[in-house]
Amino acid sequence: MIQQKSIRIQTKRAALEFEVDANSRLNQRAFGGNASDESTVVAIPTSGDGWVFEPAIRAVHADGNTSTDLIVEGVSQHADLTCIDLRDPEYPFYLQLFVRAIFDLDVFEMWTVIRHDEESEVVLEAFASSSLDFGTGDFRLTQFSGDWADEANMTSEKLTPGIKSLDSKLGVRAHQFTSPWFLLSKGSDSRTPLQSDSPPLPVRSSEDEGVVFAGALAWGGSFKFSFEVLPKGRLRTVCGMNPYASAYRLAPGVEFETPKMVWAYSDRGTGELSRKLHRYVRDEVIRDGNSPRSILLNNWEATYFTFDEDKIVSLFAGAKDLGIELFLLDDGWFGSKYPRDDDTQGLGDWIPDLAKLPHGIGALTEAAEKLDLRFGIWFEPEMVNPRSRLFEEHPEWLIRQPKREMELQRNQMVLDLTNPEVRSFAYGILDTTLRENPGITYVKWDCNRYFTQPGSSFLSPQNQSHLQIEYVRGLYEVMGRLAAEHPGVQVMMCSGGGGRVDYASMRFAHELWPSDMTDPVRRIFIQWGFSHFFPAIATANHVTRSGDRPLKFAFDVAMSGRMGLDIDLAKLSECEREVAAVAIATYKQIRDIVQLGDLYRLESPYSGSRSSLMYTYGDRAVVFAFSLGESFGNPLRLKGLEGGKQYQVKEINPECGRELTLSGGFLSEQGLPIPTLGKFESVVFLVTGQ
């Protein structure tokens, strides 16, 4: 038992401070900047022994006691990792709180490991990864929500007394409607209405100013974030896997590890916060986060399910001529008894459809290889259409509720990955296809539905509530094997667009498909939302014909992330081919700046008719401005440049010969002169230090 100890976890500009009090209870000082002068409060609120607000932990002990008390037994701090060992003084029930701090980035990862040696199972009914207190203040929550083809819309609201929760109950993927990440800004005025006659000042945080936190749960399943403004105005957050319908019966001696809750801090606004998170994602989340990505051509919006070998091979030569580096064959290539000619059948039967591809996948990879084009392929390993051989052979492999009519989404059901046989099947189909076709160097992993009838015939009746958690653990086992055994194969994470975009699933992938909405006008907003948590290198943006926008505009929007194309090249006019060729060549010139550089969001699409952003990398930068309506040529103040340095500024794609030399100071203070742009026009500038 430890008494009276302070535990400080320090990063460059933030600190998380705990204190063990005279009774060995763990308390926490408000999380934030280096010097919080706020008093301490309980660090891990447990249910049933005094705490009447949202609990972090609720356990039903083997003898039926529904309360838990935690005292500190030990603390260890080694390098970036702090571990606080707690136990219930009356039960052999243990909780370890882990905090890993990444000093330079002001990032804190928090998670817990729960274990017990009670006589029989303990039922865990709440198991937050993190339950931080933020002290008093004026808080504003920004969430990223939407729906299929409408992801990551930003909405901000002031938190008021009571509880606000963001959650997902979808199980198989983190979200479709609400993303597993948020921003929380804290106003400088810490007066509460009780302490002051005047109302608190509004929260002031922006791209460059103000105290702002980011939170993201590294978990690809159901999650819950609670924000509770308690009496006297302190904000408590409780974040982790969603305990909804997920009571977990923990056997003695078994460790229950919760996913990492990732927190980041900035006292210089949202821009700096995102740049820190981008570095974190590049270094610690996505695979090979510092190696530039290939320019990809996808056939989905060009052909949908209607293609054959000749059609696909015919796309290769045009792709190569334009400078494309990777071809991705999407849905529709498989199925025999039930060929995948539309989304009603074939899912689960992962053998090439010989009617479309008489010589299998090998003929395609060989043809691509001859042109020095990489080849990728689409999979949806967790799913099955009832019209498939797989379903006929294994109707028991589905997630469904007995005695209920199967509820289909996109005509498909989810396979039960809690079952090791199903996991072997899912891995097996990937492994076999990749081994038989070593020319495949890229996989798009899709997931086009979620749980609506969460029942498993593999789990025992009393363990049905483990499904949401065990499914994701099973999924990660399969994804982990794929990454370990096929390290040379890159992975795109897709889930009916951006439904599986969390910091855990993305550990197995190189990039994400943010949305099936590819109209560049809507895409500007979607990419803006994702850019708060993911760097451009991880965000696949494809040029399509959606919305019928000017082709240059579509290219410029795609170029501001990891650019690709999803159009039928054979249908391009001469003039359009020229536009595409110039854009692809331009992208190659700026790819390192966009994919490896630092992002500065300059003008939000939410607040005007012009949206702009820029990336800096070494002494080069690239600036994008997109006009969503009539936009007047207001100068654009650039960021991230050196004040005393001269910069050459040149419009690229197309290169119009407009060229200027201006100082960094001028560009940041007076701004870059931008021409008046008509609706859906855009400009791109390359800025080079002299």
Paired sense of beta strands 440-445 and 490-493, if any: parallel
**Cα gap 635→626, rounded to integer Å:** 14
For ligand GLA, the closer CB: 237 or 385: 385
Instruction: Verify binding: residue 442, ligand GLA, rule CB under 6 A.
Output: no
H/E segment holding residue 492: strand 490-493
Using Cβ positions, the residue closest to ligand GLA within the complex turns out to be: 331
Q: Which one, 116 or 173, has the nearer CB to ligand GLA? A: 173
User: In whole angstroms, how close is the CB of 298 to ligand GLA at the nearest point?
Assistant: 8
What DSSP letter does each residue of 84-142 carry, written as one string?
A: EEEE-TTSSEEEEEEEEEEGGGTEEEEEEEEEE--SS-EEEEEE-SB--EEEES-EEEE
Angle at which helices 309-322 and 360-370 pack, to 10 degrees? 20
Binding of ligand GLA at residue 267 (CB under 6 A)?
Answer: no
- Which of 280, 378, 666, 685 is in the footprint of ligand GLA by CB under 6 A? 378
Q: Which of residues 382-441 bind ligand GLA (CB under 6 A)?
A: none
From the list 208-216, 237-245, 493-501, 594-602, the region that binds ligand GLA by CB under 6 A is 493-501
Give 279 or 374: the residue with its C-beta nearer to ligand GLA: 374
In what helix (H) or strand (E) does residue 60 lie, and over which residues does it extend? Answer: strand 57-60
Is residue 648 within 8 Å of residue 622, measured between CB atoms?
A: no
How many residues are listed for the chain in this entry?
690
Q: Which of 485, 484, 539, 549 is nearest to 512 (CA)?
A: 539
For residues 474 and 444, what is the distance between their CA atoms, to the nearest angstrom?
19
624 in contact with ligand GLA (CB under 6 A): no
Is the CA virtual torsion 529, 532, 533, 535 positive or negative? positive
Of 240 and 497, CB closest to ligand GLA: 497
Q: Which of 228, 446, 511, 651 binds ligand GLA (CB under 6 A)?
A: 446
Stretch that binds ligand GLA, among 16-24, 47-55, 490-498, 612-620 (CB under 6 A): 490-498
Q: Which is nearer to ligand GLA, 416 or 516 (CB)?
A: 516
| Minimum gap (Å) between residue 355 Cβ and ligand GLA | 18
For residue 213, state whether it binds ligand GLA (rule: CB under 6 A). Answer: no
| Nearest CB to ligand GLA, comparing residues 446 and 470 | 446
Tokens at 498, concatenated: 């951006």
Cβ-contact 651, 687 below 8 angstroms: no
Pairing mode of beta strands 610-617, 71-78: unpaired
- Minimum Å gap between C-beta 345 and ligand GLA is 13
CB-CB contact of 144 with 181 (8 Å): yes
The rounded distance, in Å, linking the Cα atoms of 161 and 587 is 49
Beta strand spans in 494-548 (E): 511-512, 540-543
Nearer Cβ to ligand GLA (86/494): 494
Least distance from C-beta 379 to ligand GLA, angstroms? Answer: 10
Q: Tell the smallest beta-carbon distance from residue 322 to ligand GLA (Å).
A: 21
Residue 578, both tokens: 């020229």
Ramachandran angles phi, psi of 539, nearest 5° = -110, 105
The rounded distance, in Å, linking the Cα atoms of 484 and 508 is 9
Among 382, 388, 377, 384, smallest CA distance to 434 is for: 377
Asked if residue 381 binds ligand GLA (CB under 6 A), the reply is no
Q: Quick check: 125 and 58 in contact, CB under 8 A?
A: yes
Per CB under 6 A, 598 contacts ligand GLA: no
Count of residues in contact with ligand GLA, rule CB under 6 A: 11
Nearer to ligand GLA (CB atom), residue 129 or residue 539:
539
Binding ligand GLA (rule: CB under 6 A), the pick from 32, 221, 497, 664 is 497
| Nearest residue (CB) to ligand GLA, 144 versus 300 | 300
- If binding is defined by CB under 6 A, does position 133 make contact with ligand GLA? no
Cα–Cα distance for residue pair 60/249, rounded to 1 Å: 9
Within 499-518, which residues bind ligand GLA (CB under 6 A)?
513, 516
151 near ligand GLA (CB under 6 A) = no
The one segment of 154-162, 456-464, 469-477, 494-502 that binds ligand GLA by CB under 6 A: 494-502
Residues between 285 and 304 with contacts to ligand GLA, criterion CB under 6 A: 300
- What count of other Cβ atoms lies within 10 Å of the Cβ of residue 268? 17
Q: Out of 494, 584, 594, 683, point to the residue binding ligand GLA (CB under 6 A).
A: 494
Q: For 226-271, what is the HEC assignment?
A: EEEECHHHEEEEEEEECCCCCCEEECCCCCEECCCEEEEEECEHHH
Q: Is 330 in the site for ligand GLA (CB under 6 A)?
A: yes
Q: Which stretch binds ligand GLA (CB under 6 A): 47-55, 132-140, 491-499, 678-686?
A: 491-499
Q: Minimum distance from CB of 410 to ligand GLA (Å)? A: 8
Q: Does 346 bind ligand GLA (CB under 6 A)?
A: no
| Closer residue to ligand GLA in complex, CB, 412/437 | 412
Task: Pick from 258, 365, 448, 612 the residue near ligand GLA by CB under 6 A.
Answer: 448
Interaction of residue 683 with ligand GLA, rule CB under 6 A: no
Between 55 and 496, name the residue whose CB sits nearer to ligand GLA: 496
CA angle 210, 217, 177 (to 5 degrees): 90
> Which residue from 55, 220, 496, 529 is in contact with ligand GLA, where contact means CB under 6 A?
496
CA gyration radius, the chain: 26
Write down the least CB distance from residue 153 to ligand GLA, Å: 18
Contact between 454 and ligand GLA by CB under 6 A: the answer reads no
Instruction: CB nearer to ligand GLA: give 17 or 446.
Output: 446
Residues paired with residue 346 on neighbouring β-strands, in sequence order: none
Binding residues (CB under 6 A) for ligand GLA: these are: 300, 330-331, 378, 446, 448, 494, 496-497, 513, 516
